[in-house]
Amino acid sequence: MKLYLVPTPIGNLEDITLRAVNVLKAADVILAEDTRTSGVLMKHLGISKPLQSYHIHNEHQTVQRVVEQISKGKTYALVSDAGTPAISDPGFLLVRECLRQGIAVECLPGPTAFVPALVNSGLPADRFTFEGFLPHKKGRQTRLQQLVEEERTMIFYESPHRLLKTLEQLAEVFGPDRPASVSRELTKLFEETVRGTLTEIKAYFAEKPIKGEIVLCVAGAERRKESKKKYSNDDTDQEDEDE
């Protein structure tokens, strides 16, 4: 009687963990965001288990039924199309309801796009904020304004066709020289990470068609000073040590 959240590869199939395979093999039912996408992965892994659909359009209706089944002693595993369930993907509602009803929940560690993007960015990774997708229209400016004074490195998920517009808006809000990075197609054949100021990165991507999946990292306001100091060998600046 348990719900497992099982991360799946974000590109490279070798990133599935041994434990993920074992948990999926032992589950009674696998809940999948897209049963066709997950069906292909399960076939590749040699796993043959009932797959049930669980996505943003049916999760409200599905949660109670799933919780009932788990309460009766079944073990369910939730997977999303890629990465860790509940990270910009369905999962939160089910986790919350299971916990409310005293059902054990366990999320396995595994693939997710934001961690390699953050580490590859070279920006401070000791404190960061995961912003997921910015709202497309309503609330977008409000959200950006809320981040003006954010000191931690900020991580955004973005789609390729919105990247240039987002870089432009971020440059307006944070200033054109704010350090940032764009990681594209992580773990895949054409993986690349482009680092520079918001303006430099925008200029790079303005010159070619933008394809694939994207994570954008932006330096935080104060941390920028700190990372500059760390890498500048300027040990006369004692500002932080004295605080």
Phi (first) and psi of residue 154, to 5 degrees: -105, 135
CB of 173 to ligand SAM, least distance (A): 20
Residues from 135 through 194 that contact ligand SAM (CB under 6 A): 157-159, 183, 185-188
- CA-based max dimension of the chain: 65
> How far apart, in whole angstroms, are the C-alpha atoms of residue 128 and residue 61?
34
Among 14-22, 34-42, 52-60, 209-217, the segment contacting ligand SAM (CB under 6 A): 209-217
> From the CB of 112, what's the least distance to ligand SAM, in Å?
3
Q: Which is nearer to ligand SAM, 145 or 159 (CB)?
A: 159
Closest to ligand SAM by CB, 187 vs 197, is 187
Among positions 69-128, residues that touch ligand SAM (CB under 6 A) are 80, 82-84, 87-89, 112-114
Q: Which residues contact 22 (CB under 8 A, 6 or more apart)?
A: none
The tokens describing 202, both together, are 């925008």
Q: Which of 5, 213, 217, 219 touches ligand SAM (CB under 6 A)?
A: 213
Instruction: Output b/e per residue, 97-123; b: 16+ Cβ within 10 A.
Output: bbeeeebebebbebbbbbbbbbebbeb
Residue count of the chain: 243
What is the nearest approach in angstroms of ligand SAM to the Cβ of residue 185?
A: 5
Catalog residues that contact ligand SAM under the rule CB under 6 A: 10-11, 80, 82-84, 87-89, 112-114, 157-159, 183, 185-188, 213-215
